Amino acid sequence: MMTNSFFDLSGRTALITGGGSGLGKNIAEVYAEYGANIAVCSRKLANCQETAEDLERRFGIKAKAYECDVSNEQQVEKTVAEVLQDFGAIDILVNNSGATWGEFAENMPLEAWQKVMNVNVTGTFLMSKAVGKHMIGNGYGKIINIGSTAGLKAESPEVLNAIGYSTSKAAVHHFTKDLARKWAGHGLYVNAIAPGFFETKMTKQTIAKHADKIISRNPMKKLGEPKSLQGVALFLAGAASDYVTGQIIAVDGGSSL
């Protein structure tokens, strides 16, 4: 475990939505490495349980898994209450749960649009609201929303054809800025990470079809690696970012430039 005070998370508790796999799991791993206790939740409890057990074994921290649909307010409030009962506090919240739907805009079903918005936007709001009340009471908290470079620029349909997803991530970016402005006086920090193309379950098909095109258009000529995201997530969770709020940090090799 590292002890550099800029990045030391000892004694902190982080709640990470969608933390059982993909980018959420990567973030949970680096927080645990730097001493944080970890609560992970998602609709798939088994993944979260496997991750929690792995983190406890590897890093000697306390970790626990919870089943939660972030678009359901009752489930969100129940999960947050359980985490607070089990850990005593939530110091760091990572809103990472996400959904996508690939389709031409003219053919996208309303149900698909609503599903993406409910998870990506409403879920981020509901979890921030529930955890934010606790953080405001404590006078401290770090909220990190996972956006996307898809919410920073309009991608060509040949690479990404998911207008609900890109629109939802643009909404998450503005939500981040607005909430940061509203809660700064309470000692809360609200920032977002906008990843470019990382290989995850959500992007697997797109990368399989368009890897050469995506890489050739990237100024650094490569896809994202877990460590790239972990570094920024760690920076935003600890003391190193204590004068940073309302920012959208692209981790994309320059693809959004």
pLDDT digits (tens, 9 = 90+) for 210-245: 677 677 777 767 776 778 899 999 999 999 999 999
One-letter amino acid of 226 = P
- Per-residue pLDDT at 120: 98
Q: With b meaning 16 or more CB within 10 Å and e meaning fewer, what string describes 191-205? A: bbbbbbbbbbebbee
The tens-digit pLDDT sequence of the chain (257 residues) is: 445 689 999 999 999 999 999 999 999 999 999 999 999 999 999 999 999 999 999 999 999 999 999 999 999 999 999 999 999 999 999 999 999 998 899 999 999 999 999 999 999 999 999 999 999 999 999 999 999 999 999 887 877 888 999 999 999 999 999 999 999 999 999 999 999 877 666 666 666 666 776 777 777 677 767 788 999 999 999 999 999 999 999 998 888 88
Phi first, then psi, for residue 145 (nearest 5°) are -95, 140
Summarised one tens digit per residue, pLDDT across range 66-78 is: 999 999 999 999 9
pTM above 0.75, yes or no: yes
Whether the Cβ atoms of residue 38 and residue 46 lie closer than 8 Å to each other? no
Q: Which residues lie closer than 8 Å to 87 by C-beta, 6 or more apart?
A: 13, 37, 39, 62, 64
Would residue 66 show up in a list of annotated catalytic residues for this protein?
no
Buried/exposed 42-52: b ≥16 CB within 10 Å, e otherwise: bbeeebbbbbb
* Residues sharing a CB contact under 8 Å with residue 57, sequence separation 6 or more, in sequence order: none
> What is the per-residue pLDDT for 2?
47
Is 196 within 8 Å of 252 (Cβ atoms)? yes
Give the pLDDT of residue 218: 76
The answer to whether residues 132 and 142 touch, using CB atoms and an 8 Å cutoff, is: no
Domain spanning 13-251: CATH 3.30.365.10: no
For position 78, what pLDDT does the model report?
Answer: 98
- For β-strands 141-146 and 248-251, DSSP reports them as unpaired
Domain boundaries of the chain, sorted by first residue: 13-251
In the set 31, 34, 66, 165, the catalytic residue is 165
Give pLDDT, residue 205.
64
Q: Fill in the amino acid letter for 167.
A: T
Taking each helix axis from N to C end, the angle separating 22-33 and 226-237, rounded to the nearest 10 degrees, works out to: 60
Burial label for 208, CB within 10 Å (0-12, 13-18, 19+), is exposed
